[in-house]
Structure 1
Amino acid sequence: MPHPVVHTEAGAVSGTRSEGIEHYLGIPYAEPPVGARRFALPEPAAAWEGVREATAFGPTSPQSPYPGEIGKLLPSTIIPGDDILTVNVWRPEDADGAAVMLWFHGGALERGAAAISTYDGTPFARDGVVFVSANYRLGSEGFSVLPDAPRNIGLADAAEALRWTHRNIARFGGDPSRITIFGESAGGAVVAALLAREDLRPLLAGAIIESGPLDATTPERAARPARDIARRLGVPATAEGFRAVSPQRLVATRDELTANSTLIKAAPGFTASVDPTTLPENPRRALVDVDVPVIIGTNTDEYRLWDTPAAFAKLSRGTYALLALAKRLPRGVWRAYRATFPDASPGEIIGQVLTDLAVRQPAIEVARARSASTFVYEFAWASPVRDLRAAHALEIGFVFDALGDEGAITMAGAAAPPELATRMHADWIHFAETRDPGWPAFRDDTLVRRYDTVTEDVPLPRAEVLAALTR
C-alpha cells in the first residue's frame, strides 16, 4: 500500500496508514535549535524539496531519565538528534472538518516527550479527532533566564507549534477553528500559559488543564536553576556562556544539583516567568478573563507520585509546623485537614497540603472567578500499585484510552477498569467537538465530575480544607 502524502506549507510529508488511520511523525514546525539558534526564539521550518518521510518520531529535547523510584513509574523516551521542534499528526483517513486536539506533554519542564508510547494518538483518531502532539525545548535549553536571551523559550516553541497547527491542520482534514489544546502537569502549565496570551486566543476553541500549575513566577526567581548550573560549571550565566557548554553537559550538571531533592526539600525547579513577549500576565490571573471554554482538574492524591510511602512515614507534625511557617499558612489548616483525613499520617496530610497549594486550590480559585464555561473534574480512582492511589499522572492512561500501554500498566496495574478509560476519553473528545464535556459548568462549588469506579457529578470534594487554606 503506498504511503499517504500530505502537502504542508513547508513541503510534502509521507506517513503510514493502518486500519483507517494515518500517522505523520516528526514533522518540523521550526528549525533545529542549534548553534546561534540555541537560546533564541523558534524560527519557522524552512521549506524542503520533494517528499519528506514522516514515519518516525523526531529527536527529543535534551534530558535524562527520571531517577530513583519515580523512574520506575514514569517512562522516559530519549531520541538523540538536533531536529527536536517537531509535531506528530494522527488523522482518520476520511477526516474532513474534524475537531483537533493538540497535546503538550508534562515532565516538570525538564523531562518528557511526545514520543512516549502512552501518548499515541490512535485512540483519538479512531474516534474521529485529528490529534497532534508537539515537542518543545525543556530545562536549561527552554526555561533558563539569561540576560542575553529571550525568556520562556519553551513556551515560545509551544506557541509556534500551535500556530503551525492552525495554519496546516486543514491539510490533514482538521478544522482550524476547532482546536483544543490540552496537557498534564507541566503540559497543563503550558496550556495555561498559551491561554494567557491574547495574541493566541483567536486560535483556540477550548483547553484542558490536567493537574497543571497555573502560576508564573518573577524572572528573578525563575533564574535560580540557570544561576546554580552556571556556578557549578564555572561559566557565566548568559546565553553566550551556556552555548559554550553542550546540552548534555547542562543536563548532567542539573542532575548533580537535584540528586537529593524530595517533595519537601527540592532544588529550585524550572518555571515559566512573566515576560512582555512570551507571557505578559500570570496565567492564574489571566485565565479569569479568557473567553475560551476550559476543563480543569486534579487527582485526589497527586503527591503520592513523588515519594514512597516509607518517605511519607518519616514526616511529622513538626515538619508541618516548618512548612506552615515557610508557606505562611493560616491558622486552622492542620485541624481542617485532620478532620477531613482522620486516618491519615502526618506525612499524608503534608502531601495533601502541598499539592492543594500547588494545583488544586489555584484550579478552584480560577474556576470560581471565570465567567466563561469552566468544567471541573477530580480523578479519584485508586491504583493498587505501590499504594499510589489517585496519584499525579495516573489519569493519562485513561484520557488516552491506553490502559494496555506498558507505561499505563506501570502506574495503574493490569486490571484498571476499561469502562473508566472509555468514559474519560469520550468526555474529552465530546468537549473538543461540542465545548461541552457532558457535565454542568462549575458554579458555586457544585457539580464536579468525579472519575472513579463509579463516575458521578458531586459537590466540590474537600471544600472545607480549601477554605481553610484561603482564610
Structure 2
Amino acid sequence: MIVRTSSGLVEGKAEEGVLAFLGVPYAAPPFGSLRFRAPVPSSWEGVRPAVTHGHAAPQAAGEDIGLYAPDVFETGADCLNLDIRTPSPGAAGLPVLVWIHGGAFAIGGNGAAWHQGHRFARDGVVCVAINYRLGFEGFLALEDAPLNRGVLDWLAALEWVRDNIAAFGGDPGNVTIAGQSAGAAAVATLLTMPRAQGLFRRAIVMSGSATLVATEQEARDYAKTLAIRLGIEPARSAFARLSPAELVAAQPPPLTGDSGGLSESVPIKPVVDGDLIPAVPLAALPASAHLPLLVGCTSQEADVFVRRMAADVSEAALDHLGVEAGEPGRTPAERLGRAVTEHLFTRETRWIREARPAYAYEFRWESPVESPVGGGRVGAVHNLDLPFVFDVLDAPGVERTAGPDAPQALADAMHAAWVRFARTGDPGWPLDHLRRF
C-alpha cells in the first residue's frame, strides 16, 4: 500500500496481518555538509520502498554476551529514519506509541528484535520506532555545532509523527512516547523540554533515569580532552575530517566507570544547556504532572553482570564498601549485585515516582536460565521485560535468555497494560500503586 507523507510517497508491506512501513526518513542524512548540524527535512521523488529497516546510526559492533538477541544493525548515513506499524492506513484516530531505543546513547537501533511493534499494531496501536544519532555524532559538545544533536533528532521525529501519522491511521493528539534504558532517559528528558510540549500526551519510562545528563561545562571539557588526545581542535571542522568509523573508534565503551551512579557510568549523554534542556530533568519533572506517566524497572537489572565480576568478593570487602547485609542467605556476590541494581536503576525509578505522580510497576519474573557468561541464573535482568511488553516471546534470543517456558500469560498481561495506557493513560491499576509482574 502507498501512503503520502509530507516528505514523499512510501510503499509498505504486509506483516502478520498489519502493515509495516520501514526505514522511512524523517530527516535528511546528517553527514557531508549536514554533519554535526541540526536535522533538516528530507524529501524524495516518486514512491520510496519502505519494506526493510533503515540504517542505524554509526556505532561500535555489538558484543554478543549470550543474554540478549544477537542484533546486528546495518549502519550508514541515512540513519534518521523510523519504522511504522499500523493496523490500517485507512483507519482514523488510533492511539500512537513512539518508541525510543536504549543503548547508553552509543549503540542500538529500531531494528532490534525484542522491540518490534507489529503486535501493538495488531491490538490497535500505531507503533513508531525511531533511530537517532548516537555517541559523538549525536552528543559531543563541539565548537560551532549545536549541542544535543541527538535530542534534536528526537524532536524532529516527533514533529514528523505529528505532521504525518494521520496518514497511517494514527491520532496526532493521542501520542505516547516510550523508551527503555537510555531510551527511557530520553523520554524523561522530553517530558521536561519546552520544545517538546504538545508533541505527545503521555509517557512510559522503563529502566530509565531522570538524571542522565551532563552540564555544559562537563560536556565542553570532555570534548576538549578528547580533542587533545586526537591532536585536533574541539571544533566541528576538525572533527568532520574524521570518518564516522574513526569517530566511533575514538569513543569509550557504552558503560564506563564504577561509582557515582548511572550518569557517571554513561560518558556520552544529553547536555543541560539552559535552553533546549533547561535543567536536570528530575528537578523539572513536577511541571509535567498533568501528563500520565508509567514508570518502572526490573528487580534484578544488573545482578547477573555484577555477580559474574564479583564471584570472589568477600564479606569483609562488602563491609568496607558499606554494602548492607540485605536478605539472609545471600552470597557476597549476590549482595553486591543487588546493591548495584539499586544504585543504578531502582533508586532512579524511585526518584521519578517521588518527583511526580506516576503509575508504577516492577518486573519480578526471574528467568531460570543459567547465564552463559557466568554469574548464575539470569533472573529478572535488564532488558528482559522488553519481549513481554512487546509480546514477542518468539523473537530471536528470547528462549536462550528466558528459557523455553517463558510465561505467555505474563506477556499477555504486560502487553495489555501498555496498550491500555497508550489508549487511555490508565494501565489498569491505581495511580502510585506498585504493580508487580
Q: Contact 1:77 / 1:113 at 8 angstroms: preserved in 2? A: no
Q: How many Å apart are 1:280 and its aligned residue?
A: 1.3
Q: How many Å apart are 1:244 and its aligned residue?
A: 0.9
1:209 counterpart (193, 205, 212): 205
Q: Contact 1:383 / 1:411 at 8 angstroms: preserved in 2? A: yes
The residue number in structure 2 matching 1:365 is 351
Structure 1 spans left out of the alignment, 5+ residues: 325-333, 452-471
Q: Give the aligned residue type for 2:127.
A: F
The residue number in structure 1 matching 2:276 is 278
Q: 1:87 to 1:147 in 2, by over 3 A?
A: same
The residue number in structure 2 matching 1:287 is 285
Q: 1:260 to 1:273 in 2, by over 3 A?
A: closer
The residue number in structure 2 matching 1:416 is 406
1:167 counterpart (158, 163, 175): 163
**Stretch moving more, 428-437 or 213-222:** 213-222
Q: Contact 2:104 / 2:255 at 8 angstroms: preserved in 1? A: no
Higher helix share: 1
2:422 counterpart (413, 432, 437): 432
Q: 1:268 to 1:205 in 2, by over 3 A?
A: closer
In the alignment, the residues of structure 1 paired with residue 342 and residue 272 of structure 2 have an alpha-carbon distance, to the nearest angstrom, of 23
SS of match in other structure, 1:286 = helix
Give the alignment's TM-score, normalised by structure 2: 0.91
1:345 counterpart (331, 356, 370): 331
1:58-207 aligned within 5 A: 58-67=54-63, 70=65, 73-93=68-88, 94-207=90-203
The residue number in structure 2 matching 1:382 is 366
Q: Contact 2:3 / 2:11 at 8 angstroms: preserved in 1? A: yes
Q: Give the aligned residue type for 2:37.
A: A
Pick 1 or 2: higher relative contact order, CA cutoff 8 A, min separation 6: 2
Q: 1:113 to 1:13 in 2, by over 3 A?
A: same
Q: How many Å apart are 1:30 and its aligned residue?
A: 0.7
Q: CA RMSD in A?
A: 2.3
Residues matched between the structures, number:
425
Q: 1:19 to 1:303 in 2, by over 3 A?
A: closer
Q: Give the aligned residue type for 1:247.
A: P
Q: How many Å apart are 1:343 and its aligned residue?
A: 2.4
Q: Contact 2:305 / 2:337 at 8 angstroms: preserved in 1? A: no
Q: How many Å apart are 1:430 and its aligned residue?
A: 0.3
Structure 2 spans left out of the alignment, 5+ residues: 372-376
Q: Contact 1:399 / 1:425 at 8 angstroms: preserved in 2? A: yes
The residue number in structure 2 matching 1:406 is 396
Give the alignment's TM-score, normalised by structure 1: 0.84
In the alignment, the residues of structure 2 paired with residue 305 and residue 223 of structure 1 have an alpha-carbon distance, to the nearest angstrom, of 35
Q: 1:224 to 1:56 in 2, by over 3 A?
A: farther
SS of match in other structure, 2:286 = helix
Q: Contact 1:101 / 1:179 at 8 angstroms: preserved in 2? A: yes
Q: Contact 1:89 / 1:131 at 8 angstroms: preserved in 2? A: yes
Q: Give the aligned residue type for 2:362.
A: E
Question: Percent identity at matched positions?
Answer: 38
Q: Give the aligned residue type for 1:134.
A: I
Q: Contact 2:208 / 2:348 at 8 angstroms: preserved in 1? A: no
Q: Contact 1:61 / 1:135 at 8 angstroms: preserved in 2? A: yes
Q: How many Å apart are 1:65 and its aligned residue?
A: 2.5
1:354 counterpart (326, 331, 340): 340
